[in-house]
Amino acid sequence: MDTLTLTRPDDWHLHLRDGEALRAVVAATARQFARAIVMPNLKPPVTTVAQATAYRDRILAALRETAGDEPACSGFEPLMTLYLTDRTPPDEVRRARESGVVHAVKLYPAGATTNSDAGVTSMAAVRATLEAMQAVDLPLLIHGEVVDPGVDVFDREKVFIDTVLESLRRDFPALRIVFEHITTREAAQWVAAAPAATTGATITAHHLLYERNALFKGGIRPHWYCLPVLKRETHRRALLDAATSGDPRFFLGTDSAPHARHLKEMACGCAGCYTAPHAIELYAAAFDSVGRLDRLEGFASHHGPDFYRLSRNAQRVTVRRETWTVPEALPFGAGSIVPLAAGEPLGWRLAS
């Protein structure tokens, strides 16, 4: 198969940032995706419906400013999320449900990742808020890693399943949960065994394409560093099996997380891979690697809207087999940003 036409995909996990970073990246996503679930980990975090609505307006303004009337970007719809804190009032959940703007609430264990300091310190602290979410049927998106410094960084997701997720699932059986950016076989198995109506998981392109050796190939490679960190090959294979299985619980979420080049190439570099500009091509390469391009449309374009109870997109896009080289760097405000796989060949390309 040399060309593949599919329903226009959506990105169910995206970081767009704010200000000049937002202006640098938003069109890249809008060129590929019709909609995106926008993560709320700004500084300060997006914790209220009023903040989410104002952020949505800034995203659309930045897109107008940078993409003008570029047809591929028209109609892009940011789907907003709230950042769950120990103090999120149940009333804010009800306002979110009524807003039509906010589609989910994101749980970051405090300290787990970039801008997560305001996150949740214990599940007991958010009980009433989760009850309200379950009652109004607003999905909970979970960064599933424990933060205990005694737990090996490669085991944090697996330990989270055993110590947090299992009991959460039991205590809130009707709460819709998305286990975000899963990285392990244990997570894929947990999701596949959970009820489909209330359980989903996003999988990034980089976790389908790379295992942890990519971090150390010929020296330390900061542009492959993200959280949850890349795992061993056995886990990558399990994720690829899950993504290409046709199971509706698994859907596309890039976790494209832009950081300026100088903030990654330093002694204590930031976590996050920037994949938005070539996201669908990376996923096509991953699915093609196991001969399962026929399953890309379900994963990229059907399972996500079905879980979120939104309509599937009407437009279609085409990717074709063509080898091109990912740019070494892209403009990012006054500086630059290095996309994932910079300077490397990629075998698929989105037709304009």
203, 253 in Cβ contact below 8 A? yes
Of 194 and 229, the one with the shorter C-beta distance to ligand NCD is 229
Q: Measure the CA–CA gap between 297 and 55, rounded to whole angstroms.
A: 30
Q: Taking the complex as a whole, how short is the minimal distance between the CB of residue 128 and ligand NCD, in angstroms?
A: 26
Q: Taking the complex as a whole, how short is the minimal distance between the CB of residue 327 and Zn ion, in angstroms?
A: 22
Lay out the sheet containing 345-350: strands in order across. 3-7, 316-325, 345-350
Q: What is the identity of the amino acid at 270?
A: C
Candidates 247, 255, 281, 297; binder of Zn ion (CB under 5 A) is: 255
Q: Taking the complex as a whole, how short is the minimal distance between the CB of residue 292 and ligand NCD, in angstroms?
A: 25
178, 187 in Cβ contact below 8 A? no
DSSP assignment letter at 232:
-
Active site residue: 57, 241, 255, 306, which one?
255
Q: Which stretch binds Zn ion (CB under 5 A): 93-101, 119-127, 251-259, 331-339?
A: 251-259
CA atoms within 13 A on the CB side of 95: 14
Of 255 and 281, the one with the shorter C-beta distance to ligand NCD is 255
Q: How many residues bind ligand NCD (CB under 6 A)?
A: 11
Q: Taking the complex as a whole, how short is the minimal distance between the CB of residue 203 and Zn ion, in angstroms?
A: 12
Residue sitting closest to Zn ion (CB): 255
Of 242 and 257, the one with the shorter C-beta distance to ligand NCD is 257
DSSP secondary structure of 70-129: -GGGTT-EEEEEEE--TT--HHHHHHHHHHSSEEEEEE-BTTSSTT-TTSBS-GGGGHHH
In the region spanning residues 267 to 286, those forming contacts with Zn ion, defined by CB under 5 A, are none
Of 227 and 296, the one with the shorter C-beta distance to ligand NCD is 227
Phi, then psi, of 104 in degrees rounded to 5? -170, 170
Under the binding rule (CB under 6 A), the answer on residue 226 touching ligand NCD is yes
β 102-107/140-142 pair status: parallel
DSSP assignment letter at 139:
-
In the region spanning residues 31 to 90, those forming contacts with ligand NCD, defined by CB under 6 A, are 41
Beta-bridge partner residues of 321: 348
Candidates 227, 238, 296, 350; binder of ligand NCD (CB under 6 A) is: 227
Say which entry of Zn ion, ligand NCD, none residue 226 contacts (CB below 5 to 8 A, set by partner kind): ligand NCD
Of 4 and 16, the one with the shorter C-beta distance to ligand NCD is 16
β 316-325/3-7 pair status: antiparallel
Q: Taking the complex as a whole, how short is the minimal distance between the CB of residue 253 and Zn ion, in angstroms?
A: 8
Burial category of 283 from C-beta neighbours within 10 Å (exposed 0-12, middle 13-18, buried 19 and up): buried
Say which entry of Zn ion, ligand NCD, none residue 16 contacts (CB below 5 to 8 A, set by partner kind): none
Q: What is the identity of the amino acid at 1?
A: M
Q: Measure the CA–CA gap between 302 and 214, rounded to whole angstroms.
A: 31
251's tokens: 């859907």
Beta-bridge partner residues of 82: 105
Is 18 annotated as catalytic? Answer: no
Q: Taking the complex as a whole, how short is the minimal distance between the CB of residue 311 and ligand NCD, in angstroms?
A: 27
Candidates 48, 53, 66, 114; binder of ligand NCD (CB under 6 A) is: 114
Q: Could you give the angle at the alpha carbon of 326 between the alpha carbons of 220 and 340, nearest 5°? A: 40
In the region spanning residues 242 to 271, those forming contacts with ligand NCD, defined by CB under 6 A, are 255, 257, 271
157, 187 in Cβ contact below 8 A? yes
Residues lying near ligand NCD in the complex (CB under 6 A) = 15, 41, 113-114, 143, 226-227, 255, 257, 271-272
Binding site for Zn ion (CB under 5 A): 255
Catalytic residues: 255
